[in-house]
Structure 1
Amino acid sequence: MFKKIPCIPIDDGSAGQTTRDAAEETPIAIFVNGRHMTTAILSPARFEDFITGYLYTEEIIRNVDEIESIRIEENRISVLTRDIFKRVSTKKTILSGCGGAVSYIDTEKLPSINSDLVISVPEIVGVIAALLATDARIPAGRIEAVALVAGGSIIARSEDIDRHNALDRVIGYGL
């Protein structure tokens, strides 16, 4: 997920040649039922978790049983759903973010969430501290990190150049 790149950091007025970790990114064309849906810029890891979570969060699938197959190739992910005639919506919402990402969800039709889930502030602080402690590149701002948590313990974590991609990966893992 990282590669060493040569650089000349300038610290306290002095400069010296060295190498630093840089997050890798790769364009991946996503096809659903033979139709190009989008091209995503992703960190090169856990593509199956990503596509499962992405299709779920974009409401292309309601559960993983709707996925017939996933084929991952170089720079392409092809998915067949059980309903091969299902089409991706043509309505797009432009999202904030580096790449001007889009969503196919009709925000007017989002359900309201009713939950009695309560999470204490110390639990949130503890999990964030645990997540940040696992990799020094996260607090340095070099990558975004997301965790799936239950009972104060991290079940799954993901990193990416974009937090939305990292979130889709942990959602896909959870599904």
Structure 2
Amino acid sequence: MTAEHEPTRTLTLIRLPSDGATDSIERDIAVECPVAIEVDGFGYAVMMMTPERLEDFATGFLLTERLVDAADDILAIEPFAAESGWIVRVTLAEHLRGRMQDRVRHRTSDTSCGLCGLSGLEQIARPVTRRPPRPSVSVETLFATLGTIRANQPLNARTGAVHAAIACDAEGIVFAAAEDVGRHNALDKLVGALARDGEIQPDFILVTSRISYEMVDKALVAGVGLLIGISAPTSLAIDHARAHGLTLIALARSDAMLVAHDPHGRFA
């Protein structure tokens, strides 16, 4: 990774305090740049994101897009630094090369929505091949895990501008974590890291963002039993979780949480 494509840049800003005595400060700013995903020589998507862990991102992105079924379906991932961002060239196994035509995108995505640019509304509904397991984590462990979020956000500690997705076991031990300016990009990075490892099966995933439809969908691909977020869920997210049996907890704070779906009666 070249210096101009580091995940942060140090910039000089003006600090404006309440007493009006301005001064200059240097601050680490989270880098946001376009990352173009090319699949078998064809442009598939352009994501605005933090340019690090691109192999993990590409793996998770292709899994959650249903272009591949497993990390082994990806034969090669080659990130290239470009003048204005990054290009990630991916080669798929021969038997999967027809899927991209079914998931074609026609415009640039952004940091707010992992579904932007789909060519038709019918493409939103994608198959979920496995039922989520019953989560084993206790309520006490969930609250304790909230206290570990900052320790797993080194990039956010420097910039204050990125989301995290954190995979934990039933005891709250962190298996893996990922950060990005885009909440869905962070979760794709995490899904990709888990898939590329192949040995880790977390009990739940914690995200530092609102829970929308695509966040639930990515958790379903990851095969966890529980998705928990520190912000609110959308109606479609709850519908998606209920339709596929994913335990969903939102608005997780140090004093209370909101159980949106509990198919196993785990937290009743």
Q: TM-score scaled to structure 2, two decimals?
A: 0.57
Instruction: Indicate the residue corresponding to 2:260 in structure 1.
Output: none
One-letter amino acid matched to 1:145 = A
How far the C-alpha of 1:146 sits from its partner, in A, is 1.3
Q: Provide closer, same or farther for how the CA distance between residues 28 and 81 of structure 1 changes in structure 2, counting only shifts above 3 A.
A: same
Where does structure 1 lack aligned partners over 5 or more consecutive residues?
Answer: none
Instruction: Indicate the residue corresponding to 1:22 in structure 2.
Output: 29
Inter-partner Cα distance in structure 2 for 1:91 and 1:136: 32
How far the C-alpha of 1:114 sits from its partner, in A, is 4.4
Instruction: Indicate the residue corresponding to 2:166 in structure 1.
Output: 147
Instruction: Indicate the residue corresponding to 1:87 in structure 2.
Output: 99
Q: Provide closer, same or farther for how the CA distance between residues 11 and 42 of structure 1 changes in structure 2, counting only shifts above 3 A.
A: same
> What pairs with 1:1-175 in structure 2 (closer than 5 Å)?
1-14=7-20, 15-74=22-81, 75-83=86-94, 85-88=97-100, 89-90=102-103, 98-102=111-115, 106-107=124-125, 109-110=127-128, 113-134=131-152, 135=154, 137=156, 141-150=160-169, 151-175=171-195
One-letter amino acid matched to 1:42 = M
One-letter amino acid matched to 1:137 = N
User: Cα deviations across residues 10-44 of structure 1 (Å, max 9, x unaligned)?
Assistant: 22233211111110122111011111110111212
Measured on the aligned residues, the alpha-carbon RMSD in Å equals 2.8
Indicate if the aligned counterparts of 1:138 and 1:145 stay in contact, CA closer than 8 A. Answer: no
One-letter amino acid matched to 1:115 = P
User: Cα deviations across residues 118-159 of structure 1 (Å, max 9, x unaligned)?
Assistant: 322322222221121344835984211111112311111111
Return the structure number with greater relative CO, CA threshold 8 A, min gap 6: 1
Q: Provide closer, same or farther for how the CA distance between residues 153 and 114 of structure 1 changes in structure 2, counting only shifts above 3 A.
A: closer
Q: Secondary structure at the match of 1:102?
A: coil
Inter-partner Cα distance in structure 2 for 1:13 and 1:112: 58
Inter-partner Cα distance in structure 2 for 1:22 and 1:139: 8
Indicate if the aligned counterparts of 1:132 and 1:139 stay in contact, CA closer than 8 A. Answer: no
Q: TM-score scaled to structure 1, two decimals?
A: 0.84
Q: Higher strand share goes to which structure? A: 1
Inter-partner Cα distance in structure 2 for 1:156 and 1:101: 21
The number of aligned residues is 173
Percent pairwise identity: 24
Q: Higher helix share goes to which structure? A: 2
Residue range with higher mean Cα deviation, 41-50 or 76-85: 76-85
User: Cα deviations across residues 58-102 of structure 1 (Å, max 9, x unaligned)?
Assistant: 11111011111111111101111112632322466xxx9745542
Indicate if the aligned counterparts of 2:56 and 2:188 stay in contact, CA closer than 8 A. Answer: yes
Indicate if the aligned counterparts of 2:155 and 2:179 stay in contact, CA closer than 8 A. Answer: no
Inter-partner Cα distance in structure 2 for 1:29 and 1:13: 45
Q: Secondary structure at the match of 1:172?
A: helix
How far the C-alpha of 1:112 sits from its partner, in A, is 7.0
